[in-house]
Amino acid sequence: MAITGAHMLFYTSEPELLRGVIRDVFKWKHVDAGDGWLIFALPPSELGVHPAEGPTFESGMRHQITLMCDDIRATARELREKGITVRGEPHDEGWGITVMLLLPGGLEVMLYEPRHPVAASAAAPRARGGRTPPKRKTLRPRRRTAPARTRPRRRTGGRRRR
């Protein structure tokens, strides 16, 4: 069995407007599946598995898509400048700093700056903050070496050093 990817869905009463925001504001690459139905490539992503208990689950939330960023205050400011409604100010949750975005059709999406290790950066060609991750050394079998010589090698040609 080969899982080759994940397809996520946003349901909204204003799909054309939301597609425009994702295309023009978020600047995500996309393909047109026909009749203006855009399918967007996601930035590096990760999946967290949470317990089915607590206030989020009890409020009726069963699945959630959140958008991550490196600097939530700068990102929220840029989104506001581009006409996106950002509800309130960023709030530190401990595991990350969060704020809610209101997208076309009444869609609420969390934006957060993670405070935990980010799995997406391990799989992505670039790490958080735009830095290229260090190349990992590949472990290779050790070469067999000849036994150490007991006498120093003789030099050939030139003057002999002492």
- Domains and their CATH numbers in the chain: 15-130 (3.10.180.10)
Give the DSSP per-residue string, 7-34: ------S-HHHHHHHHHHTS---EEE-S
Tokens describing residue 34:
């026909």
Cβ contacts of residue 83 below 8 Å, gap of 6+? 25
Query: Which of the residue ranges 5-9, 17-21, 75-79, 124-128 would you say has the lowest mean pLDDT?
Result: 124-128
| Residue 14 clears pLDDT 80, i.e. is over it | yes
| Residue 134 clears pLDDT 80, i.e. is over it | no
0.75 cut: is pTM over it?
Answer: no
Short-list 114, 103, 102, CA closest to 69: 114
- In angstroms, rounded to a whole number, what is the distance separating the alpha carbons of residues 86 and 103? 9
- In angstroms, rounded to a whole number, what is the distance separating the alpha carbons of residues 131 and 39? 28
- What local confidence, expressed as pLDDT, does residue 125 receive? 55
- What local confidence, expressed as pLDDT, does residue 136 receive? 38
8 Å CB contact between 23 and 30? yes
Residues in the chain: 162
- What local confidence, expressed as pLDDT, does residue 53 receive? 87
